[in-house]
Structure 1
Amino acid sequence: MRRVLITGIKGFTGRYVAAELERHGWDVCGIGSHDEVGDGRYRRVDLLDSAGLRTVIAEVQPDAVVHLAAIAFVGHGDADAFYTVNLIGTRNLLAALAACAKTPECVLLASSANVYGNAIEGVLGEGVPPNPANDYAVSKLAMEYMARLWADKLPIVIARPFNYTGLGQSESFLLPKIVSHFRRGEEIMELGNLDVWRDFSDVRAVAEAYRRLLEACPAGATVNVCSGQTHSLREVVSMAEGICGRSIRVQVNPAFVRANEVKSLCGDPSRLRSIIGDWVTPSLEETLSWMLEQ
């Protein structure tokens, strides 16, 4: 069995990626920054602990790596954390992998479609010049540039996922917040700008895309992971109302309207499909139904 190391394995995405890889015959190990009792495949080590990372990687000797660990919530209050974790933490990981006696067959780094920013309308391909509009996006773009320094030592693939969601995602993200209001039977919900359009995928499909990218390993490639379709938050609320059979009153709270909000993000999945073959994500309505019916 090939062994894969997943950073952030206990996070929202990490759990789905671990399950996907296990189903397809991978020996899965993972690291994270929190204690976890009784899981022999898990090791606690912080990305900022260079020596600890080298020790764990020398012990695990992974055949492949999926790097998911990051500060991922755009509204996170500590700007410094974006750079220390997303940039310096990733550099420490790559340095540890390069120092290992066994070179991985593939290192998949999860970046973000937020690097495209807010300047260009239409469908965004990987060739669109980045224009990040917040610290999170800048930290991810900086990570991409930094990773190029290791391209001669490690087979690196960069994934740029657009928005995705699913069961178990934190309510600090918008779709789980909307779902939780419906599941609790609340009559009023406060949101920010309802006319923000996003390309939404299902976390289960994203996990599949990551697994297939890892197995194909187009080293040096940057690849969008996206559906190629957008929905506004207004449409999301309407879908949830249809699934639940009842309405909810939405109040726009100016405090929830972010400065430098990216108004529309729609990705072009052509490169992804050219690498891994046919790939589709469930419709947003199917994903919402799954989240609402649990």
Structure 2
Amino acid sequence: MTSRSGQSVQTLVTGRRGFTGAYLSDVLHAAGHTVVSGSYKDASSADSRDTDFDITSIEQCRRVIDELRPDYIVHLAAISFVGHANDLEFYHVNVLGTLNLLQACEDVGHTPRKILIASSANVYGNVESAAIDEQFPLAPVNHYAASKMAMEAMVRTWSERLPIVITRPFNYTGVGQSERFLVPKIVSHFLKREPVISLGNIDVARDFSDVRFVAQVYGALLESDVAGETFNVCTGQPYSLAQILELCGELTGHKIRVEVNPAFVRKTDVKTLVGSPARLLAQVPTAKPIPFDETLRWMLGVGPSLDAAERN
């Protein structure tokens, strides 16, 4: 793939060394992109594709955007763990860091072909619905979600100046995700054949996607003609933690006892979060959701599991 100037397409991915960024980089490389990365704080790396800069520094953002002049920007870098200890960091990184990237593009006179910015389905809050679409009102119930809602509002003020797409991914998982997150924690306990797992409310239900599907969606949205729109990234199928425990038990033949730890039960926990992928799949019909039992097989190393690229 080449840019309009005849040079290879260059895509800046903030947070490339994070969980999602690693899979997205593979998708973009396969499509002919040269991927360079940025983080929200300085970090050392021997990878020549890495251009580390602090997104909370407008000066560093200007420098990197001016030097690279990327064809595309995918902004993944964020404080994404809901239980993060420093509430102010959610806003400092998620809102101001995003503003710095957009402001830097304007300041140096560079307009990428597309800027994809990852928000979160947590902005919907505790919604009782069989399928949340993009028109649902936003009602965040924690600082992570509130920071993403604020970020979205800020980004929309740039919609006439820059070609931006916002994604609202629902929960997703896969190999390599931190065990701070629930599905990797559960999978790890089954892989180690632990007799007991300590969890919070196992009746909460989420719309879980496979990270390989999410990466394919982001790549497809970059290549699409769409701009100025927001898309749910989801499957439309919820699973409770109780169901996940049962599926893991069936796939591994191992039974595990659940102990409810009150410290893991948050008052602001969203009980059920399931989205409608209708708008997304109408825009990028080649992106096919991966069944969640296949994702669990992949994570558990049990039986065959197709690579996302083989499904498209």
Quick check: TM above 0.5? Answer: yes
User: Cα deviations across residues 235-289 of structure 1 (Å, max 9, x unaligned)?
Assistant: 0001111111110111111110111110111110010011112432211111111
Say which is worse superposed, 146-155 or 166-175, in terms of deviation.
146-155
Letter of the 1:8 partner, please give it: G
1:22 and 2:29 matched: yes
Say which is worse superposed, 196-205 or 273-282, in terms of deviation.
273-282
1:228 and 2:236 matched: yes
User: Cα deviations across residues 18-65 of structure 1 (Å, max 9, x unaligned)?
Assistant: 111001111111111242332111011111111011101111110011
User: In the alignment, which of 45, 70, 85 is matched to residue 62 of structure 1?
Assistant: 70
User: Cα deviations across residues 57-97 of structure 1 (Å, max 9, x unaligned)?
Assistant: 11111001100000001111111110000001110111112
User: Cα deviations across residues 192-229 of structure 1 (Å, max 9, x unaligned)?
Assistant: 00100100000000000000011114111000000010
- TM-score relative to the length of structure 2: 0.92
Question: What secondary structure does 1:126 align onto?
Answer: coil
Match in the other structure for 2:135: 127
| Matched-pair contact (CA < 8 Å) for 1:228–1:267 | yes
Match in the other structure for 1:166: 174
Match in the other structure for 1:91: 99
1:145 and 2:136 matched: no
Structure 1 stretches lacking a partner, 5+ long = none
Letter of the 2:20 partner, please give it: T
1:5 and 2:30 matched: no
Match in the other structure for 1:270: 278
State the distance in 1 between where 2:165 and 2:231 align.
8
| Matched-pair contact (CA < 8 Å) for 1:227–1:280 | no
State the distance in 1 between where 2:221 and 2:267 align.
34
Letter of the 2:66 partner, please give it: A
User: Cα deviations across residues 91-123 of structure 1 (Å, max 9, x unaligned)?
Assistant: 011111222333101000000000000143221
Question: What secondary structure does 2:282 align onto?
Answer: helix
Cα distance, 1:2 vs. partner? 1.2
Match in the other structure for 2:307: none
Match in the other structure for 1:45: 53
1:105 and 2:103 matched: no
State the distance in 2 between where 1:95 and 1:247 align.
53
Say which is worse superposed, 34-43 or 123-132, in terms of deviation.
34-43
User: In the alignment, which of 78, 85, 90 is matched to residue 86 of structure 2?
Assistant: 78
- TM-score relative to the length of structure 1: 0.97
| Matched-pair contact (CA < 8 Å) for 2:165–2:228 | yes
Question: What secondary structure does 1:267 align onto?
Answer: coil
State the distance in 2 between where 1:167 and 1:184 align.
15
Letter of the 1:165 partner, please give it: T
Structure 2 stretches lacking a partner, 5+ long = 1-7, 303-312
User: Cα deviations across residues 169-212 of structure 1 (Å, max 9, x unaligned)?
Assistant: 00100000001111122110000001001000000000000000
Question: What secondary structure does 1:124 align onto?
Answer: coil
Match in the other structure for 1:154: 162
* Count of residue pairs brought into register by the alignment: 294
Please provide the CA RMSD for this pair: 1.1
User: Cα deviations across residues 133-184 of structure 1 (Å, max 9, x unaligned)?
Assistant: 1110010000000001111211010000000000000010000000111112
Match in the other structure for 1:214: 222
Mapping for residues 173-252 of structure 1, pairs under 5 Å: 173-252=181-260
Match in the other structure for 2:301: 293
State the distance in 1 between where 2:108 and 2:301 align.
45
| Matched-pair contact (CA < 8 Å) for 1:155–1:217 | no
State the distance in 2 between where 1:123 and 1:154 align.
30
Cα distance, 1:124 vs. partner? 0.2
1:116 and 2:124 matched: yes
State the distance in 2 between where 1:203 and 1:20 align.
11
State the distance in 1 between where 2:211 and 2:127 align.
27
